[in-house]
Structure 1
């Protein structure tokens, strides 16, 4: 199970905060929230807070990639923040950590 909450930060940046484990059962909820945030006309960008995410499988990674691509198409920033080390390692192995976080 995951909890996904969305709020507007200063400068019309949308923050999507996620808590829990992301797998094939919970990824659709993440996907819906991310695509809704990216699709908001007034949004100047999307920040995804992963501080509470303890696991992310390939379905969660695919959700992140779809949202990142959609944001890039709109020329809107999309950034993953507060990624836990175990999740960051998986994202680094598949080669998307740097693109999503601007880190090595």
Structure 2
């Protein structure tokens, strides 16, 4: 079954099937990562974007996701060593004068 992994008890896993969004609020150290984020990063097989400032979730789950054939990227422009993926939206704009305006508008 595919969906958002919400929890587990003696009856099995509770999975919200469909394409719901999740927003988690809890204090630091309350178990959001180990109790919800990491299990879902290991369970969810589609694309995901994670706001992971300390890269803890990335370090734990990226190897697994890569072994499943997924591409894993880190965008961290503040990283001291400068190692980060990047995205330049202007790269897609043609340098041909007739095409340039159309590309910007799209």
TM range (shorter): 0.3 to 0.5
- Higher helix fraction (1 or 2): 1
The two structures have a TM-score, normalised by structure 1, of 0.38
Bigger radius of gyration: 2
